[in-house]
Amino acid sequence: MSVPLTLLGLLEREPSHGYDLKRDYDAFFGRGKQLPFGQVYATLGRLARDGKVIAGDAEPGGGPDRKRYVITDAGRHEVDAWLIEPVEPEPHLQTVLFAKVTLALMLGKPASAYLDTQRAAHIRRMHDLTEIKRTGPLVDVLLADHGLFHLEADLRWIDLTSARLTELAEAVRNR
């Protein structure tokens, strides 16, 4: 999650104060982890320095949250470019689990049991995400979907690895 680009995107919607930006960020993207005020103002300061936003004059009142920020054309272009660019399709290889399975096979320990344990944990998490989908707002549904598809991909890897354990054990022993 890119905080500067997300804040910039929120500013493209409408000019805002730092406080309002933080509130919207937490509501839509925070997922239980709040963005510190300090990070909001530091980010806005950098965006202003780089010409992506313009900070209005400080409005009467105390505290730092008295400036209204407006996105510039350069900021708008940056948001557009970011939105259009595909996210790096990183493989979600279960590196820790892979290490455990390989080590278990080397040591003659029950690799399939580790995979079963992991499978159970994945299904449990999928169950929780499914419950969220059944009761949550659409934003949560979409995020839960994202999690579910990734967990499902991991599970398919776990299933395939389970089916290949004998082959893998032989490969590990023969190295």
Partner 1 sequence: MNTPAVLGSVGHGSLVEARGIYKAFGQTPALRGANVTVRQGEIFAIMGPSGSGKSTLLHCLAGIFTPDQGDVLFDGQLVNAMSEADRTKLRRTAFGFVFQFGQLVPELTAADNIALPLLLNRTKRKVAYKTASTWLDRLGIGDKGGRRTGELSGGEAQRVAVGRALALAPKVIFADEPTGSLDSLTGEKVMDLLTDLARQQGATVVLVTHEARVAAYADRVAMVRDGIVSFVDLPTVPASPAVAKGAN
- Residues in the site for partner 1, rule: CB under 8 A? 1, 31-33, 110, 112-113, 116, 119-120, 122-136, 140, 143-148, 150-152, 155, 159, 163
Element (H, E) at 54: strand 53-55
Q: How far apart are CA 127 and CA 16, in angstroms?
A: 38
Q: Give the Å distances, CA to CA, from 110 to 103, 104, 155, 167, 169.
A: 10, 6, 18, 15, 11
Minimum distance from residue 42 beta carbon to partner 1 (Å): 22
Q: Would you say 89 or 137 has its CB closer to partner 1?
A: 137
Minimum distance from residue 127 beta carbon to partner 1 (Å): 5
Contact between residue 67 and residue 56 where contact means Cβ atoms under 8 Å apart: yes
Minimum distance from residue 113 beta carbon to partner 1 (Å): 5
Nearest Cα residue to 90 out of 30, 150, 147, 31 = 150
Q: Would you say 53 or 158 has its CB closer to partner 1?
A: 158
Element (H, E) at 70: strand 68-71
Q: Would you say 55 or 132 has its CB closer to partner 1?
A: 132
**Orientation of helix 138-163 relative to helix 95-107, angle to 10°:** 20
Minimum distance from residue 140 beta carbon to partner 1 (Å): 6
Minimum distance from residue 95 beta carbon to partner 1 (Å): 17
Q: Would you say 74 or 139 has its CB closer to partner 1?
A: 139
Q: Would you say 77 or 156 has its CB closer to partner 1?
A: 156
Q: How far apart are CA 78 and CA 2, in angstroms?
A: 12
